[in-house]
Amino acid sequence: MATVYAAATSTSMAATTAVMLPRLPTTTTARCSAVPNLPARSFSTSVKQVSESKRSSLFRIKASEDASSAADPNELFTDLKEKWDALENKSTVIIYGGGGVVAIWLSSILIGAINSVPLLPKIMELVGLGYTGWFVYRYLLFKSSRKELATDIESIKKKIAGTE
């Protein structure tokens, strides 16, 4: 229970201030905590004080220089320019790209509208959880179904690449 102390200000100010202070126990109790008390950390130590041998044993990271993994920005732009120049129907690519941007924009608006309905987001989460469970059971749980999924993915890749 809190004790209320009221203090009147001087005669020039006609306001009254009320302060609520918690009642402190009169006996001292041992404080129990799940977090152990750690020693105070000294901030005066620096990284330079760590010995070189200890530092090298802790951090053994080697960077290898591989010509195939290094991406040159000029090479990337020239490759993209060559691919763009090789396209015959550039207007179709621009229309599909613009359509993709518009589709992403509209879907974000739709998701925002669904999130504003009070109960619908939780229902959609349950639907997503159910579908995820079904997908795991149908395609990922057993070895034969994983192979089936892999062949389906490969056939879709071939259809997209146009090799099928």
Rounded distance between C-alpha atoms, residue 148 and residue 141, angstroms: 12
Give the pLDDT of residue 117.
87
Asked if the structure places residue 81 within a domain, the reply is no
Asked if the structure places residue 28 within a domain, the reply is no
Give the pLDDT of residue 130.
97
Asked if the structure places residue 45 within a domain, the reply is no
Give the pLDDT of residue 149.
94
Asked if the structure places residue 54 within a domain, the reply is no
Q: The pTM is what? A: 0.37
Asked if the structure places residue 49 within a domain, the reply is no
Taking only the tens place, the pLDDT of each residue in 68-111 is 556 788 888 898 899 888 888 889 999 999 999 999 999 999 98
Give the pLDDT of residue 108.
96
Three-state SS for 152? helix
Can you give the residue range of the structural domain that contains 107? Answer: 88-161
Give the count of domains, the chain. 1
Asked if the structure places residue 29 within a domain, the reply is no
Which residues does the chain have with pLDDT short of 70? 1-70, 164
Of residues 131, 129, 140, the one with CA closest to residue 152: 140
Asked if the structure places residue 48 within a domain, the reply is no
Asked if the structure places residue 21 within a domain, the reply is no
